[in-house]
């Protein structure tokens, strides 16, 4: 079954269901950026919102598209159901009451059916996002904290944990790069290629791999420090955020004393 068939089948199952007011596509299908690998995100508007009865209606609709092999019913978010069918079609639905639609925008939704013309009453688009300085400061401090734990990992010979530390540093670097580009419509975690520049990709692909040996662990931590910290300092200055100078200073002092490491920038 194609994604278009899946959408049509689910819509046909719900269009005349009692209490169901509207069905919208969201995510990449809502903003027009879907490809053959996208999941299908829906917003279902019902009088009862995310009730057991509405969840049962949704399951019945999804079952028409194929055998359900994964079903997370309001597991991580109280209004969200995630499903995967046997052909690995992924569908997510947010179930809301009509009065809960105010934070959605026309730019992020594509109406499938809309009995009450809810779409017309939504704002056209969200206002431009503003940088979250509190979040950014936490990310910078977290990077420095993980870098400082290199002393512990080396001292205990915890090279497997050292690999995990490299992954954390990498994730923080990727987050910083995405913020640098200011890319709209970030989408899910598997959309990185369209969120960062070729120059940023070159930096990422040029960094050493995470390997569970002492030398490789230290090399990777230092390489990520050299890639992240100068970029983060530049962004902090541009945003007017105070840099945690003292925290970084004592971290490098500790790494210098214990591992004979020198700040690489």
CATH number at residue 31: 3.30.460.10
| In a domain? residue 91 | yes
Are both 176 and 231 inside the same structural domain?
A: yes
Of 121, 155, 183, the residue at which a domain comes to its end is 121
* pLDDT for the residue 213: 97
CA angle (219, 220, 224) in 5-degree steps:
120
Of 121, 152, 183, the residue at which a domain comes to its end is 121
* pLDDT for the residue 35: 87
Are both 142 and 173 inside the same structural domain?
A: yes
CATH number at residue 156: 1.20.120
Are both 169 and 57 inside the same structural domain?
A: no
Are both 144 and 117 inside the same structural domain?
A: no
Are both 165 and 65 inside the same structural domain?
A: no
Q: Quick one: which of 96, 24, 15 has its CA closest to 54?
A: 96
Query: Cα–Cα distance between 253 and 195 in angstroms, integer?
Result: 35
| In a domain? residue 265 | no
Q: Quick one: which of 73, 71, 67 has its CA closest to 85?
A: 67
pTM: 0.83
* pLDDT for the residue 186: 63
| In a domain? residue 155 | yes
**How many domains does the chain divide into?**
2
| Contact of 200 with 180, CB cutoff 8 Å | yes
Query: Cα–Cα distance between 255 and 171 in angstroms, integer?
Result: 22
| In a domain? residue 126 | no
Per-residue pLDDT of the chain (265 residues; tens, 9 = 90+): 999 999 999 999 999 999 999 999 999 899 888 888 899 999 999 999 999 999 999 999 999 999 999 999 999 999 999 999 999 999 999 999 999 999 999 999 999 999 999 999 999 998 887 889 999 999 999 999 999 999 999 999 999 999 999 999 999 999 999 999 876 666 655 678 778 899 999 999 999 999 999 999 999 999 999 999 999 999 999 999 999 999 999 999 999 999 999 999 8
Number of Cβ within a 10 Å radius of residue 182: 10
Are both 103 and 52 inside the same structural domain?
A: yes
| In a domain? residue 127 | no
Query: Cα–Cα distance between 65 and 74 in angstroms, integer?
Result: 20
Q: Quick one: which of 11, 90, 25, 7 has its CA closest to 57?
A: 11
Q: Which domain holds residue 244?
A: 133-259
| In a domain? residue 19 | yes
| In a domain? residue 176 | yes
Are both 9 and 48 inside the same structural domain?
A: yes
Query: Cα–Cα distance between 207 and 220 in angstroms, integer?
Result: 7
Are both 74 and 159 inside the same structural domain?
A: no
Of 90, 121, 152, the residue at which a domain comes to its end is 121
């Amino acid at each position: 079954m194609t994604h278009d068939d899946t959408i049509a089948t689910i819509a046909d199952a719900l269009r005349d269901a009692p209490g169901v007011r509207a069905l919208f596509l969201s995510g990449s299908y809502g903003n027009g950026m879907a490809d053959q690998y996208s999941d299908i995100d829906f917003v279902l508007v019902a009088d009862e919102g995310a009730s057991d009865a509405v969840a049962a209606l949704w399951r019945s609709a999804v079952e028409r598209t194929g055998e359900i092999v994964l079903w997370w019913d309001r597991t991580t978010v109280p209004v969200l159901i995630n499903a995967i069918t046997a052909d690995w079609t992924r569908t997510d639905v947010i179930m809301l009451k009509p009065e809960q639609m105010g934070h959605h925008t026309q730019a992020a939704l594509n109406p499938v059916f809309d009995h009450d013309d809810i779409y017309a009453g939504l704002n056209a688009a969200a206002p431009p996002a503003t940088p979250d300085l509190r979040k950014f400061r936490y990310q910078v401090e977290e990077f420095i904290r993980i870098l400082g734990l290199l002393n512990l990992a080396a001292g205990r010979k915890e090279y497997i944990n050292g690999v995990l530390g490299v992954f954390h540093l990498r994730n923080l670097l990727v987050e910083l790069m995405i913020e640098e580009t200011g890319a709209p419509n970030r989408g899910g975690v598997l959309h990185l290629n369209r969120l960062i520049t070729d120059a940023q990709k070159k930096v990422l692909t040029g960094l050493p791999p995470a390997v569970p040996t002492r030398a490789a662990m230290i090399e990777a931590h230092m390489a990520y420090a050299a890639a992240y910290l100068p970029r983060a300092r530049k962004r902090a200055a541009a945003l007017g955020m105070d840099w945690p100078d003292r925290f970084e200073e004592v971290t490098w002092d500790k790494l210098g004393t214990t591992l004979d490491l020198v700040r690489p920038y």
